[in-house]
Chains A and B, each alone.
Chain A
Amino acid sequence: MSAPTFGVVVFPGSNCDHDAYHAVKHVLGEKATFLWHKDTDLQGVDVVVLPGGFSYGDYLRCGAISQFSSIMKEVVRHAERGGHVIGICNGFQVLTETGLLPGALLRNRSLKFVCKQVRLRVENAETDFTRRYEQGKVLQIPVAHGEGNFYTDSDTLRELEDNGRVVFRYVDENGEATEAANPNGSLNNIAGIVNSRGNVLGMMPHPERVVENLLGSDDGLGVFASLAESITGSVPALS
């Protein structure tokens, strides 16, 4: 299949849209386009990126209003067809609000916004989002959020853990998922999860911010490179 196209959704209040676009297009060298929230056409993109930011001002609840946007109806259909969707930070919040992913992102345990470099262990390197990483590799990727405290009921948590759906976990410098390494109070130090079908990923840390060594690390590039490889190398999503 030809090179994949990434579509970055622009909600009012998205502010990491340009960063995701830059990572995919200028650093990875893949095709990228913006998708306006009022549009109803995904323009045939292979991957939908729901970027970070404060969509609709994060009024009501983070990500809550976005689910009613025109574009999200199409994103849901895209996901139901098996198309790839990645939600980063506010995008993860949108995915849980939309119901494409389980759980909720609560206010950080500290009750404060937190922006810092954290360590993530790749818990499942067999997903379409992580196949370029080694299992268990520890990545340095920043978080920047006020509501990243992943929470879900115990059955869902077991379901996520037992089926390899926890993709990234916050760990310390020794690769251990300690309390101190958890920046927001997430259950089981969970930083990112996939849906059961494996085509929708949500993560609080920002891989698009660490794709160039000039900015401290390129550990995040693997997420986008994995997606590109998954799409060109596997059966394309029906559309």
Chain B
Amino acid sequence: MQHEPVVTEEIARELGLTDEEYQMVLDYLGRTPTYTELGMYSVMWSEHCSYKNSIAVLKTLPRSGGKLLVGAGEENAGLVDIGDGLAVAFKIESHNHPSAIEPFQGAATGVGGILRDIFTMGARPVAACDSLRFGDPANPRVQYLVKGVVSGIGHYGNCFGVPTVAGEMYFDSSYQGNPLVNAMAVGIVRHEQTASATAHGKGNPVMIVGSSTGRDGIHGATFASVDLSEDSESKRPSVQVGDPFTEKLLLEATLEIIREDLIVGIQDMGAAGITCSSCEMSAKGKSGMDIDLDLVPIREEGMSAYEILLSESQERMLVVAKQGNEQRVKEIFEKWDLHAVTIGHVTDDSMVTVRRDGEVKGVVPADSLVLGGGAPVYHRETRRPEYLDTTMAFRPSSVPVPGDVSRVLIDLLSSPNIASKRWAYEQYDTSVRTNTAYGPGGDAAVIRVKDTRKALSVKTDCNGRYVYLNPRKGASIAVAEAARNVACTGAEPMAITNCLNFGNPYKPEVYYQFKEACAGMGEACRMFGTPVTGGNVSFYNENPNGAVYPTPVIGMLGLIADIDHITPSAFQQEGDDIVLLGQNHDDINGSEYLSRWHGITGGDAPHLDLDEEHRLHGMLVDQIRQGRIRCAHDVSDGGLAVTLAECCFIGEKRIGAEVTLPVGTIRKDALYFGESQSRVVISCASDQTEAVLAAAMDAGIAAQRIGRTGGDHLVINDDINLPVSDIAKAHGDVLEHMLESR
């Protein structure tokens, strides 16, 4: 039997609790906690589990309404009704800190964790997306991270059998040393087969299922709640190791016990392992649990109560079975060669009691540990960062308009931020489960829903540079662009999940960015009727050289009412009219062009009018449903010229275009490369053009016929005349060359 240290204020500090927080623990318990109990508070009150510095702000977001079946934060993932008796569970989560230290396992377990969140809802995962940010791709350490993260994502998703269909990959020096790895998963469930993360019914057995428990990942959640430093390398043991094969078995067994209605509740064991799942399920069900840790299958000798409770070994779940069904649950898990062991029972005293070696090691009120219960809630100080004075002072007149815009176009297409991400997504299985109508490379991925006429459209989006330049507007743009992306495929935007990646929240400037970004996100979500279904906050994405760009990644879910409406991004036929929906602005602010060609990260975020944006989505989806539109591609990074170029070559067939854009009223570089929002390039049969233009006028959306598809060149005014094969080549192998050639 092991002796635990006697708890002091000093030890509490070592475990990451502030003196005030330690005092709160003393007050809740009315005594000094045991070492085991202190560990439980430490991990549950870490930023990662408690959201103590973010929850007050998150509550200002629209978190219910629309087609939501459960509100944000109520379950493991959000749940949205899509009709036909079906619902979609989806969520995004970060695994930034582990991936910075051990990119392959860090990213792999990020995927594993989010998949478990989906199937604990009873939903079978049908798609995964990944939103990635790295430093300069010419840097060897960055190359190591990129390769490790991409192969880790592939390793887990491919083996598990979920198609990885969409995402983003950005490179900027602000992410040097602090890569962002955000994984999203989407699943489908019949309404009556959804499961809940709750515990109730005195005497119901509490079971641990899946893998055995080891010493891996102890205090992973606490590690994720501090800045990265030179010491971080020594935290490598805090990174868990994933086994997608076991997870696949766990998926099948879990769905079987839910389908057979054998359980009261189930929760994934991610951060903070048994501690988190037992407390959260108890608190949600307003009950307690009595758990004997001696019964937990362990894979290492001599583990203490503290270690078992805080282990983040992967591929485990906590299940509360309905009394009498224990045996059947065991049979199902044994069929899949997995453990299912009863380790305790539900109580009605609202306490989580843990035993080890025949002794009670801890008795804590479940509610006192959890978010929404006794966990601390902080309102942090904000201060507008000084850099904004400099960036906002940028004047476009200070940079010359380039003479040769062809060269600029080729250069932008070969920017790692705009270039094809094929090198990455060819390492992901994109078509397993045979639902992928459109995979990576277009505006959004499209996943058909078997046994219905419907399809889902999914996309992640965020331009961190915009958010850096204007946190509020930049976050609005992230929502707007994600919604526009799914609208381009023919989908009505339904709801979002978010992954909020920021620096240290104790710095008022960082907190200003966070609060403003949430405000902007909320404004956009309210305008589009897309509530926030949940997500994840990742603070402390900073190292001694500074914080990352504030990066609130949006995961958007759209619904395509009929598979006949599924619309591609690229030109489909020669001789079609090309129409620009939306207004060009004299605006090069925050653009990839300004950053790459002129080396300036400056100006405001690009122009955005939320009301106009919303009308554009409605009008676009309506015209798609009327069958008038053959392709739709949104104008985003790189501006209108890059969009037109991509329309020529990202489809199955390469088709050129001749385009005439009105010059004179705005700067030429703004016309071609500016990133003002709310614009979409469409193609349609020429006999449909009048109707499309009329519909745009009715919706109050500027629209103009700008050209015609055909030939094998992209021609824009007298400025650009390039073979499609050349522009495709500029865009094609950039990442491969940067990452594979030595």
A binds B: yes
Q: A211-B434, A214-B437 are in contact. List 19 more A-B contacts (CB 8 A).
A: A12-B336, A12-B337, A18-B433, A19-B434, A22-B450, A54-B159, A56-B245, A112-B427, A113-B428, A114-B427, A115-B426, A115-B431, A116-B426, A144-B158, A146-B158, A209-B432, A212-B434, A215-B435, A215-B436
A206 within 8 A of B: yes
Contact A57 B245 (CB under 8 A): yes
Residue from B249, B337, B431, B450 whose CB has the most chain A CB atoms within 10 Å: B431
CB-CB contacts of B319-331 with A at 8 A, as 1s and 0s? 0000000000000
Contact B160 A209 (CB under 8 A): no
| In the bound complex, CA of A221 to CA of B325 (Å) | 43
Partner of A142, one of B427, B428, B431: B431
| In the bound complex, CA of A15 to CA of B158 (Å) | 9
* Given A13-B248, A57-B245, A206:B431 Cβ within 8 A: yes
With a cutoff of 8 Å between Cβ atoms, the chain A residues found around residue B435 in the complex are: 215
Residue of A nearest to B338 (CB): A12
Shortest CB distance B128–A (Å) = 13
| In the bound complex, CA of A57 to CA of B158 (Å) | 11
Interface residue ranges of A46-97 to B (CB < 8 Å): 52-54, 56-59
Q: Chain A, interface size: which category? A: 20 to 34
A16 within 8 A of B: yes
Contact B432 A16 (CB under 8 A): yes
Partner of B245, one of A54, A142, A214: A54
With a cutoff of 8 Å between Cβ atoms, the chain B residues found around residue A206 in the complex are: 431
B311 within 8 A of A: no
| In the bound complex, CA of A231 to CA of B160 (Å) | 34
Partner of B428, one of A19, A56, A115, A216: A115
Contact A19 B433 (CB under 8 A): yes
A208 within 8 A of B: yes
| In the bound complex, CA of A211 to CA of B425 (Å) | 22
Contact A12 B161 (CB under 8 A): no
| In the bound complex, CA of A114 to CA of B245 (Å) | 19
Residue of A nearest to B434 (CB): A19
CB-CB contacts of A1-26 with B at 8 A, as 1s and 0s? 00000000000110110110011000
B561 within 8 A of A: no
B215 within 8 A of A: no
Contact A113 B434 (CB under 8 A): no
| In the bound complex, CA of A142 to CA of B428 (Å) | 12
| In the bound complex, CA of A15 to CA of B252 (Å) | 11
B555 within 8 A of A: no
| In the bound complex, CA of A235 to CA of B436 (Å) | 38
With a cutoff of 8 Å between Cβ atoms, the chain B residues found around residue A54 in the complex are: 158-159, 244-245, 248
Contact B432 A144 (CB under 8 A): yes
| In the bound complex, CA of A56 to CA of B337 (Å) | 11
B151 within 8 A of A: yes
Shortest CB distance B438–A (Å) = 9
| In the bound complex, CA of A206 to CA of B437 (Å) | 16
Partner of A115, one of B161, B246, B337, B430: B430
User: Measuring CB to CB, which residues of chain B are less than 8 angstroms from any residue of chain A?
Assistant: 151, 154-155, 158-161, 243-246, 248-249, 336-337, 425-437, 448, 450, 563, 566
Contact A113 B432 (CB under 8 A): no
Contact B249 A115 (CB under 8 A): no
| In the bound complex, CA of A203 to CA of B431 (Å) | 17
* Given A57-B245, A112-B151, A113-B154, A209:B431 Cβ within 8 A: yes
Residue of B nearest to A54 (CB): B159
With a cutoff of 8 Å between Cβ atoms, the chain B residues found around residue A211 in the complex are: 434
Partner of B427, one of A19, A115, A212: A115
With a cutoff of 8 Å between Cβ atoms, the chain B residues found around residue A56 in the complex are: 245
Shortest CB distance B111–A (Å) = 14
- A sample of 19 cross-chain residue pairs with beta-carbon separation below 8 angstroms, ordered by A number, consists of A12-B248, A12-B337, A13-B159, A13-B249, A15-B161, A15-B248, A54-B248, A112-B151, A113-B151, A113-B155, A115-B428, A115-B430, A116-B426, A144-B158, A209-B432, A214-B437, A215-B435, A215-B436, A215-B448
| In the bound complex, CA of A122 to CA of B661 (Å) | 48
Contact A113 B336 (CB under 8 A): no
Shortest CB distance A29–B (Å) = 15
Among all A-B residue pairs, the 7 with the closest Cβ atoms: A15-B161, A57-B245, A144-B429, A54-B159, A19-B434, A115-B429, A209-B431
| In the bound complex, CA of A15 to CA of B159 (Å) | 8
| In the bound complex, CA of A111 to CA of B153 (Å) | 16
Contact A113 B431 (CB under 8 A): no
| In the bound complex, CA of A164 to CA of B434 (Å) | 31
CB-CB contacts of A197-239 with B at 8 A, as 1s and 0s? 0000000001011011011100000000000000000000000
With a cutoff of 8 Å between Cβ atoms, the chain B residues found around residue A12 in the complex are: 245, 248-249, 336-337
CB-CB contacts of A114-126 with B at 8 A, as 1s and 0s? 1110000000000
Residue of B nearest to A146 (CB): B158
| In the bound complex, CA of A15 to CA of B448 (Å) | 18
With a cutoff of 8 Å between Cβ atoms, the chain B residues found around residue A212 in the complex are: 434
Shortest CB distance A107–B (Å) = 13
Contact B432 A19 (CB under 8 A): yes
Residue of A nearest to B740 (CB): A110
Shortest CB distance B421–A (Å) = 13
CB-CB contacts of A137-156 with B at 8 A, as 1s and 0s? 00000101010000000000
| In the bound complex, CA of A146 to CA of B248 (Å) | 18
| In the bound complex, CA of A13 to CA of B159 (Å) | 7
| In the bound complex, CA of A58 to CA of B158 (Å) | 12
Contact A209 B434 (CB under 8 A): yes
With a cutoff of 8 Å between Cβ atoms, the chain A residues found around residue B436 in the complex are: 215
Contact A214 B161 (CB under 8 A): no
Shortest CB distance A80–B (Å) = 29
| In the bound complex, CA of A216 to CA of B426 (Å) | 17
| In the bound complex, CA of A144 to CA of B436 (Å) | 14
Residue from B160, B245, B337, B430 whose CB has the most chain A CB atoms within 10 Å: B245
Residue of B nearest to A13 (CB): B245
